[in-house]
């Protein structure tokens, strides 16, 4: 039997990148999936087709999770539940990334980053958790964090702050929800090839520098988190609560790598 057979998942930010790869893996593990994107466009249609099952393409709900708050995430949750009232698995992947020096950043940038990366997740998790508690459903939640929740970067104050909050939410929500048979865990990717990172990774010197900073020397594709996500949502992880699993090739364990010998000549 597949690891997630009989489960029903709603995955935010899942029409491309890491979210889509997690959705495909969840589908392949036997669960039904509902996707989410900011708007329905070609990428969303292709994502729905990639998650096709014998009954047809996956359903997609669309909308900005950040605006207005908290009405937007509540509306999307209800739209997903109308499509499948049996949703028992929530994956919070949607987020935004801003690369901007702190002294030049305006409050609106910081505010939107927190709304999308933190507040929307709080609203969605609370909404589904209340429903699961009322109906005595053993719910499962997976938050997608980042290595930036642990390691800071100079021009990523808003993003780093939001992902640090996600890291803390995983632990705090575990304490709040585990007694109600709702499991909360997270995955925190390091640098992966995605639409957002591709421009930087196409720079050979930058890519090589990031490979040097990663113990296994790899910058993998967006599906690197998929196996970890399926495992944490499965019955095999029944006793795993409140953990953030870093999928980063070991990057977060290194204080500072030694440069390659040829760089020192």
pLDDT in tens, 52-110: 987 889 999 999 999 999 999 999 999 999 999 999 999 999 999 889 999 999 999 99
CA angle 6, 223, 27 (to 5 degrees): 20
Give the end-to-end CA distance of the chain in Å, rounded to a whole number: 56
Q: pLDDT value at position 11?
A: 98
Distance CA 170, CA 94 (A): 16
Distance CA 159, CA 97 (A): 6
Q: pLDDT value at position 264?
A: 64
Other beta carbons less than 10 A from residue 235's beta carbon:
12
Query: Where in the chain are the domains?
Result: 8-247
Q: pLDDT value at position 265?
A: 64
Statement: residue 1 has pLDDT above 70: no
Q: pLDDT value at position 195?
A: 86
Q: pLDDT value at position 149?
A: 96
- Estimate the crossing angle of helix 157-177 against helix 107-114, to 10 degrees: 30
In sign, the C-alpha dihedral spanning 235, 236, 242, 244 is: negative
Q: pLDDT value at position 35?
A: 98
- The dihedral region occupied by 5, where left means phi > 0, alpha psi between -120 and 50, and beta the remainder, is beta
2: confidence class by pLDDT, cuts 50, 70, 90: confident
Identify the three-state secondary structure at position 148: helix
215: confidence class by pLDDT, cuts 50, 70, 90: very high
pLDDT in tens, 162-214: 999 999 999 999 999 999 999 999 999 999 999 888 998 999 999 998 998 89
**54, 80 contact by CB (below 8 A):** no
The pTM (predicted TM-score) of the whole model is: 0.95
Statement: residue 113 has pLDDT above 90: yes
The residues, ordered by sequence, that sit 6+ positions from 256 with a Cβ below 8 Å of its Cβ are none
Q: pLDDT value at position 166?
A: 98
Q: What is the DSSP string of 149-196?
A: GTS--TT-HHHHHHHHHHHHHHHHHHHHHGGGT-EEEEEEE-S-B-TT
**Class of the CATH domain delimited by 8-247:** alpha beta
141 membership: H or E segment, kind and range: strand 140-144
pLDDT in tens, 18-52: 999 999 999 999 999 999 999 888 889 999 999 99
pLDDT in tens, 115-167: 999 999 999 999 999 999 999 999 999 999 999 999 999 999 999 999 999 99
Instruction: For residues 230-259, give the mean pLDDT.
Output: 93
Maximum Cα–Cα distance for the chain, whole Å?
A: 66
Distance CA 138, CA 143 (A): 17
């Amino acid at each position: 039997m597949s690891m997630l057979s009989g489960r029903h998942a709603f995955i935010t930010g899942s029409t491309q990148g890491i979210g889509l790869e997690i959705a495909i893996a969840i589908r392949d593990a036997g669960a039904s999936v509902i996707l989410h994107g900011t708007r329905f466009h070609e990428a969303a249609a292709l994502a729905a087709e990639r998650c096709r099952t014998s009954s047809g393409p996956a359903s997609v709900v669309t909308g900005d999770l950040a605006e207005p708050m908290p009405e937007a995430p509540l509306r999307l949750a209800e739209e997903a539940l109308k499509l499948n009232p049996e949703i028992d698995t929530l994956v919070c992947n949607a987020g935004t990334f801003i690369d901007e020096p702190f002294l030049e950043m305006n409050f609106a940038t910081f505010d939107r980053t927190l709304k999308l990366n933190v507040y929307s997740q709080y609203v969605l998790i609370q909404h589904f958790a209340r429903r699961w508690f009322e109906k005595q459903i053993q719910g499962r939640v997976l938050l997608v964090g980042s290595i930036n929740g642990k390691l800071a970067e100079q021009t990523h104050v808003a993003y780093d702050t939001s992902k640090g909050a996600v890291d803390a939410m995983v632990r705090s929500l575990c304490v709040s929800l585990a007694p109600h048979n709702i499991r909360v865990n997270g995955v925190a990717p390091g640098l992966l090839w995605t639409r957002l990172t591709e421009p930087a990774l196409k720079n050979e010197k930058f890519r090589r520098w990031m490979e040097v900073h990663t113990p296994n020397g790899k910058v993998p594709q967006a599906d690197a988190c998929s196996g970890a996500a399926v495992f944490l949502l499965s019955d095999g992880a029944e006793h795993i609560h409140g953990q953030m699993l870093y999928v980063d090739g070991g990057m977060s364990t290194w204080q500072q790598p030694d440069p390659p010998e040829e760089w020192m000549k």
